Amino acid sequence: MLEFRGKQLYITDTILRDAHQSQAATRMRVEDMLPACEILDDIGYWSLECWGGATFDACMRFLKEDPWERLRQLRRALPKTKLQMLLRGQNLLGYRHYADDVVETFVQKSIENGIDIVRVFDALNDVRNMETAIRAVKKSGGTVEAALSYTTSSVHSEEYFIQKARELKTLGADVICVKDMANLLLPSDAYSLIYKLKAELDIPIHLHTHNTAGTGSMVYLAAAMAGVDIIDCALSPFANGSSQPGTESMVAALRGTGRDTGLDLKKLNEAASHFKTVAARMETEGLISTKVLRADPNTLLYQVPGGMLSNLISQLRQANAENRLEDVLREVPAVRADFGYPPLVTPTSQIIGSQAVLNVLMGRYRSFTKEAKALLRGEYGQLPGEVNEDVRRRAIGGDEIIRCRPADLIEPEMGKIRDEYGGICRSTEDLLSCALFPQVAPEFIRKRENIHEIVVEWDGNNI
């Protein structure tokens, strides 16, 4: 008989965000979600993750949806369930650091439009890059779920993550999340880390993993035995592979134990039936690749998350060099070591991956992307480990390295954003869309009135 610590285990379902981001390039439309919302709202999840990450960009760029209106529609359709989003700290949902006033305004508007829980993380686990977002969530009355980007390296010890969790608790975190984006956390390590975090902290511990390497369900079972409070799962039509372990499977596995989730399998199956139809259509449209549905244990060797793998394949295809994928995968750990062992999560996963591609195709460090130079210069924050100084010198020469919190060097931006985009924007939300995605949002906003699918409600929230 398995021995479980703790009481009811709570579940966050990712079906409305990370599940389809991981398997279908974030292409699920709000019209695919709304018919299932009444069922989802009645299940009793701890939360539904439905916004943030890549959804904001994909809504405007590919789906011609207003991401703010998507959030408002989901809020109306899910009145009983807490809605959760993923926020990249000072990067928000973009790929650079923004000024504090932009971060504060974005967080305020996210909560005003319907978000209850904000999972805040930083790609480098530089807590300084999370401070402003954490304060803003608290000020707006939201729940702060501060996340540790989990990875393995010579510098990422168990004590490293426990110390980071202590710092985040001191900053005001209501929940600590262990964010295992590449499914690198193995069951025995999960048990040990969760057990110690529970002993150290008096706030809930939330565990997020994927099933990329095929170990996700085992990781959750071990964490449940160690006393984890909440886990991320995905309804079965968009579960497993590069997504999260399946909700129904985890609920069934824990039934009758000390960590019974209390969720009704019949209701879960009813919701899953709807998303089976959605998944079938998306497969027909070529939006779901079989590669993201299979477990790949090589993830444990190369530490490449599913989304990063897709980007590498795309870059090599554009260079007519898909046959070099294995060479690139072997190069990724080497580049990561030279760059001070950053966790591979947006945006560092793209930066390290692109540099690995350049090294394979053009020769080692003969060329650097501007983002790689910025990372080595300290523009994204403090790298966890020691940097190969020869590589840094080749990249940035004698440039001064940024030692302070990078956002301290950024002047307030909201005024400039209003000056530049105020002529086409009808709300602060529009301004924020333009600030985060200036290549996409202005054109989207100009065309929005001609997009019959969109019903925009500004609620008098004008500039």
Residues 249 and 353 occupy one common structural domain: no
- Of 407, 423, 454, the residue at which a domain comes to its end is 407
Contact 412, 100 (CB under 8 A): yes
Residues 177 and 274 occupy one common structural domain: yes
The Cα 353–Cα 124 span in angstroms is: 15
Question: To 10 degrees, what angle do helices 348-362 and 306-318 make?
Answer: 40
Residues 172 and 55 occupy one common structural domain: yes
Other C-beta atoms closer than 10 Å to the C-beta of 74 total 24
Residues 235 and 166 occupy one common structural domain: yes
Residues 62 and 89 occupy one common structural domain: yes
Tens-digit pLDDT profile for residues 384-419: 999 999 999 999 999 999 999 999 999 999 999 999
Tokens of 13: 């379902």
Say if 250 falls within a structural domain.
yes
Tens-digit pLDDT profile for residues 433-443: 999 999 999 99
pLDDT band at 3 (very low <50, low <70, confident <90, very high): low
Question: Does residue 10 carry a pLDDT above 60?
Answer: yes
Contact 53, 86 (CB under 8 A): yes
Residues 142 and 276 occupy one common structural domain: yes
The Cα 375–Cα 86 span in angstroms is: 22
Question: To 10 degrees, what angle do helices 187-200 and 216-226 make?
Answer: 30
- Of 256, 284, 312, the residue at which a domain comes to its end is 284
Contact 378, 402 (CB under 8 A): yes
Instruction: Spell out a b/e string for 214-251, using b for 16 or more CB atoms within 10 Å of the CB, else e.
Output: bbbbbbbbbbbbbbbbbbbbbbbbbbbbbbbbbbbebb
Question: Does residue 307 carry a pLDDT above 80?
Answer: no
- Whose CA is closest to 339, among 189, 155, 173, 176? 155
Residues 185-193: what's their mean pLDDT?
97
Say if 265 falls within a structural domain.
yes
Say if 134 falls within a structural domain.
yes
Tokens of 451: 């997009």
Q: Which residue has the tokens 């989901």?
A: 74
Tens-digit pLDDT profile for residues 39-58: 999 999 999 999 999 999 99
Question: Does residue 454 carry a pLDDT above 50?
Answer: no
Residues 216 and 364 occupy one common structural domain: no
Question: Does residue 245 carry a pLDDT above 50?
Answer: yes
- The torsion angle over the Cα atoms of residues 365, 369, 374 and 376, rounded to 10 degrees, is -20
| DSSP notation for 124-157 | T--GGGTHHHHHHHHHTTPEEEEEEE---SSS--
pLDDT band at 4 (very low <50, low <70, confident <90, very high): low
pLDDT of residue 313: 81
Question: Does residue 73 carry a pLDDT above 50?
Answer: yes
Owning domain of residue 92: 10-284
Question: To 10 degrees, what angle do helices 100-112 and 414-421 make?
Answer: 70
How big is the chain by its Cα radius of gyration, in Å? Answer: 21
- Of 366, 386, 407, the residue at which a domain comes to its end is 407
Question: Does residue 456 carry a pLDDT above 90?
Answer: no
Tally of structural domains, the chain: 2
The Cα 37–Cα 251 span in angstroms is: 20
Question: To 10 degrees, what angle do helices 325-338 and 306-318 make?
Answer: 120
Residues 229 and 324 occupy one common structural domain: no
Residues 273 and 308 occupy one common structural domain: no
Residues 261 and 367 occupy one common structural domain: no
Tell me phi and psi for residue 218, to 5 degrees: -65, -35
Residues 246-259: what's their mean pLDDT?
96
Residues 216-236: what's their mean pLDDT?
97
Query: CATH no. for residue 105?
Result: 3.20.20.70
pLDDT band at 449 (very low <50, low <70, confident <90, very high): low
pLDDT band at 306 (very low <50, low <70, confident <90, very high): low
Q: Which amino acid is at 440?
A: V
pLDDT of residue 25: 85
Say if 41 falls within a structural domain.
yes
Say if 461 falls within a structural domain.
no
According to DSSP, the β-strands at 117-120 and 10-13 are: unpaired
Contact 85, 119 (CB under 8 A): yes
pLDDT of residue 461: 40
Other C-beta atoms closer than 10 Å to the C-beta of 310 total 17
Quick one: which H or E segment has residue 300?
A: helix 299-302
Tens-digit pLDDT profile for residues 333-370: 999 999 999 999 888 999 999 999 999 999 999 999 99
Q: Which amino acid is at 427?
A: S
Question: Does residue 299 carry a pLDDT above 80?
Answer: no
Say if 446 falls within a structural domain.
no
pLDDT band at 450 (very low <50, low <70, confident <90, very high): low
Average pLDDT, the chain: 92
Residues 60 and 169 occupy one common structural domain: yes
Query: CATH no. for residue 314?
Result: 1.10.472.90
% of the chain exceeding 70 in pLDDT: 95
Say if 137 falls within a structural domain.
yes
Tens-digit pLDDT profile for residues 98-148: 999 999 999 999 999 999 999 999 999 999 999 999 999 999 999 999 999
% of the chain exceeding 90 in pLDDT: 82
Residues 204 and 325 occupy one common structural domain: no
Say if 168 falls within a structural domain.
yes
Q: Which residue has the tokens 């790689």?
A: 372
pLDDT band at 288 (very low <50, low <70, confident <90, very high): confident
pLDDT of residue 460: 37
Question: Does residue 320 carry a pLDDT above 80?
Answer: yes
